[in-house]
Structures are given as structure tokens and as C-alpha cells.
Amino acid sequence: MAQSIINTGKVLRQIIIGQLQNVSESQMDIQPEGFRNSVRWNVGHIVYWLDKYASLSFRSPSAIPAQYETLFNSGTKPSAWTATPPSKDELIGMLAVQLSRLSELTPEMLEQRLQTPFEMGPFQFDTAGELFNFALIHEAIHLGVISSQLKLIK
């Protein structure tokens, strides 16, 4: 079962990268009516949080620029940015690097208990696999948002 979770993560990431192939740089910043954020923000948010969850789950050091936290953490939004966000190509590059790192995961790594349980509201995650699985759910939610935004943009 753990291997199928890893495989799902890789497929999900490939879908996201594929979704961005025909999006122009300018379309990345359009914020359709009714949405709080842009495609660029959602992609950066996915990159930021998978990095964060990997650090918590597998004790791996962060592999993203420090400014990603102020640009893409929960509660941030493009209208409040004071720094230049990464380009579409940079974000796709980060997605691809994370995709290759997913190939390094093993089922045994997912069985490891977290140093400290991760709590989010009423939810608690005790193992790396539980938190990683939640990370995939989170990523899929944002893929849905991106898909909806792109339908409105195009």
C-alpha cells in the first residue's frame, strides 16, 4: 500500500507539470473573479508545502528558496507580495526536482513515526506516510483550483 501512495504522488505531480505546459507567463498571474489567488500562487503553494511536509516527514532539509515562505505560505496572496515571485519556468523546475525526490521514497520511510505528531485543527498525523498522504490530498485540491482557474482564463 505504501508503494501505491508513492506512485500516486508521482502521477499527481506529473499531471500538475503537464497542466502548466500550455500556460503563458502572463496567464500565471491572472486572478479570476471569485478566487483569492492566481495560478502562480497555487503552484508555489504546492511547492512550498510539499517541501515543508517532506521536512517534517523525512527530516530532509528544505530545498526551496527562503522567500517561498513569504510568497506562498497559507494566508499569503499575490496582492500583498513585495518581492518578485519566481517565473513559471522556475516553478516548473522546482516541481520537477520534487518529482525526482519522490522516486527516492521507500515504503519503509512512510512507516516511520514522526518525531512529534503533526496537528492541524482536529487532525493528527503520527507517521510520515499519514502526513505524506495528506500532502497529496492537499496537492490534489490545489490542482483542482488551478484547473478551474485555467478554464476561466482561457
Query: Considering the entire predicted model, what is its pTM?
Result: 0.95
Q: Is the pLDDT of residue 1 over 80?
A: no
CATH number of domain containing 115: 1.20.120.450
* Total domains present in the chain: 1
Partners of 120 in the β-ladder: 123
**Alpha-carbon 132 to chain mean position:** 11
pLDDT in tens, 75-119: 999 999 999 999 999 999 999 999 999 999 999 999 999 999 999
pLDDT in tens, 45-60: 999 999 999 999 998 8
Which region holds residue 56: left if phi is over 0, alpha if psi is between -120 and 50, else beta? alpha
The boundaries of the domain holding residue 30 are 2-153
Q: Is the pLDDT of residue 9 over 80?
A: yes
pLDDT in tens, 58-71: 988 999 999 999 99
Q: Is the pLDDT of residue 2 over 90?
A: no
